[in-house]
Chains A and B, each alone.
Chain A
């Protein structure tokens, strides 16, 4: 009979040791992925430095220092100063705080909202599905930039600058996640373990939260990393165009937008190269982390 004995558990060293949850197995695979680990380390460093900026430096970021305008990098100002005499390195730290906050908050809101809408539509199907998906299509087809400008104007003054942008991006951004989650739930709910869950008396909310979502979570996580990178780029893009974070708030996008001035572009590269490099590396590392998670969660990929 096929009862596991002590002996035959030990005979199979190639398989992961017994009693590892699917998550534990994925974590192990991820940790072995060098590129993903280096990227995680980089991203973590950027995050820690950004969010701990007030403890790392005591320089006031808003004060305009007339005596120290447009200085190239030196021992005192590691990355030089900008046209208003503000320290570029310090602005980079504070800017990262804003850009990452926008990215994290917008991603979180989008993922939560999209997952709720998508899983309800996918699980219940029928009329519920039709109504929710019509609404999703409507949101997806909305002219993004127009809405950003209009909502920005409406919400201006009611919320602090950065949060206006987060809300605007989130309100318009959840459609893709909702569609993705719905389609995943639709195929996942065909599995017999869902019928089993209903049969053993789980309420619909429990079937969704405890049985369906954990099994589509890998897709959602991978999607979230892509979104996170996209949101950081969106912040930078919108700020560069002047529709993003208010100009007085430092963000990587706002720092980049100073290069619209041809003089800055040509003669003061130390003001815009650092945010460009950090932004690029951050986006890249998020993407590598996303790829790593995708590989780790895919039962078919062995490395």
Chain B
């Protein structure tokens, strides 16, 4: 896939400080498996099983991994749309792990989400104007409706939608335009963090780069920090400053973009990188093909979650679960090979 991105824009922007906007520590989110006559809990899908990372103010943190590895669950738990089973979420210096009710609602103002499915993420019964103004009305009930409308019109223009979209319904728009509506809704409260959960994976390839470029532009204009989720490494490469690689609910490697692509350390990351098609035919590289299937998150393997498919697995790998460790500067990996 070819993505054209305004490269000047990216290099211009610098992550302004080393300050963390978000820190998550040992995050776990399990889904109960109910069954049997009394609908007892029979087990758990360990969708997120011990994930720790931090996102600095102003940066884009890319989260990659195969479908089903727990990326969406991680994103939703961070935004407290799901309740964490264990661990800690610190947003902008405040522990939001156990917030509930009105306090949680108040906190939500600062972190929003752009969803994966442009069809299911917009209420079919609402007009676009209502969809985008609803967050403002929720938090600023005394704001004059004229003022809100002006804001919404600005947002529409900002995300590249015509102003007459205000009175239309979502079903009248294409996937790409719907995604723009979703982006405008997420922006309405001027949040600090936006979790973008595979925001372009459901779109036509021709529209993908437009939406990605829009997200990039908005990041500068609105001083946004992104958690950018994707299963496609080339998309993540263009968007992210730092990247985290997930496998079966675990974060296996975290580093800045260049380290991940140029010298991946974890065998899983190496396999993923080797699978990216190389546009330059001279730079032939060897593709690492993984054996077997991803194990079930309801019954993950003992020890290292990747050992069942790892080409470099040793005997200890099935016994010891490696923890994420800094092995180079700003490069963390969870693998026994680097202990």
Contacts and interface: CB of A to CB of B under 8 A. Distances in A.
Interface of A: 1-4, 18-23, 191-193, 195-203, 206, 211, 214-215
A199 B125 CA distance: 18
Contacts of A2: 174, 176-177, 207
Interface string B159-182: 011101101110110101100001
B177 A200 contact: no
Given A191-B120, A201-B139, A203-B105, A196 B185 contact: yes
A195 to B, nearest CB: 5
23 contacts: A2-B174, A2-B177, A4-B162, A4-B164, A4-B165, A18-B172, A19-B167, A191-B121, A192-B117, A195-B76, A195-B81, A195-B121, A196-B123, A200-B135, A200-B188, A201-B109, A201-B139, A202-B138, A203-B105, A206-B138, A211-B123, A215-B124, A215-B125
Contacts of B165: 4
A191 B249 CA distance: 23
A201 B108 contact: yes
Contacts of B121: 191-193, 195-196
Interface string B106-147: 001100110111001111110100000011001100000000
A22 B168 CA distance: 11
A199 B121 CA distance: 12
B153 to A, nearest CB: 15
A195 B115 contact: yes
B73 to A, nearest CB: 12
B79 interface: yes
A192 B207 contact: no
A211 B185 CA distance: 15
Contacts of B172: 18-19
B169 A199 contact: no
Assign chain B's interface to a size class: 35 or more
A192 B134 contact: no
A198 B80 CA distance: 10
A171 to B, nearest CB: 28
Contact of B120 (A3, A21, A192, A202): A192
Contacts of B164: 4
A197 B126 CA distance: 12
Query: A1, A193, A198 — which one has the most chain B CB atoms within 10 A of its CB?
Result: A193
Given A198-B81, A200-B189, A202-B138, A21 B162 contact: no
Contacts of A195: 76, 81, 113, 115, 121
A200 B127 CA distance: 16
A196 B191 CA distance: 14
A206 to B, nearest CB: 8
B210 interface: yes
Nearest to B189: A200
Given A2-B176, A3-B160, A200 B108 contact: yes
A21 B165 CA distance: 13
Contacts of A199: 79, 81, 108, 112-113
Interface string B174-207: 1011000010010011000000000000000001
Contacts of A1: 160, 210
Given A3-B162, A195-B113, A199-B108, 10 more contacts: A2-B176, A22-B124, A22-B125, A191-B121, A193-B120, A196-B113, A200-B108, A200-B134, A201-B139, A201-B189
A197 B177 CA distance: 19
Query: A21, A23, A196, A206 — which one has the most chain B CB atoms within 10 A of its CB?
Result: A196
B179 to A, nearest CB: 11
A201 B105 contact: yes
A215 B120 CA distance: 12
B171 A22 contact: yes
A272 B124 CA distance: 49
Contacts of B162: 3-4
A196 B112 CA distance: 8
A49 B160 CA distance: 56
Contacts of A19: 167-169, 172
Contacts of A215: 123-125
A272 to B, nearest CB: 46
Contact of A200 (B120, B167, B185, B207): B185
Query: A195, A200, A201, A215 — which one has the most chain B CB atoms within 10 A of its CB?
Result: A200
A214 B130 CA distance: 14
B76 A193 contact: no
Nearest to A16: B172
Contacts of A202: 134, 138
Contact of A21 (B108, B122, B127, B189): B127
B115 A192 contact: yes
Contacts of A3: 160-162
A198 B176 CA distance: 23
A222 B16 CA distance: 57
A200 B122 CA distance: 13
Contacts of A200: 108, 112, 134-135, 138, 185, 188-189
Contacts of B185: 196, 200
List the 7 shortest-distance A-B pairs measured between CB atoms, nearest first: A200-B135, A192-B121, A201-B138, A214-B125, A192-B115, A191-B120, A193-B123
A21 B129 CA distance: 13
Contacts of A23: 125
Contacts of A192: 115-117, 120-121
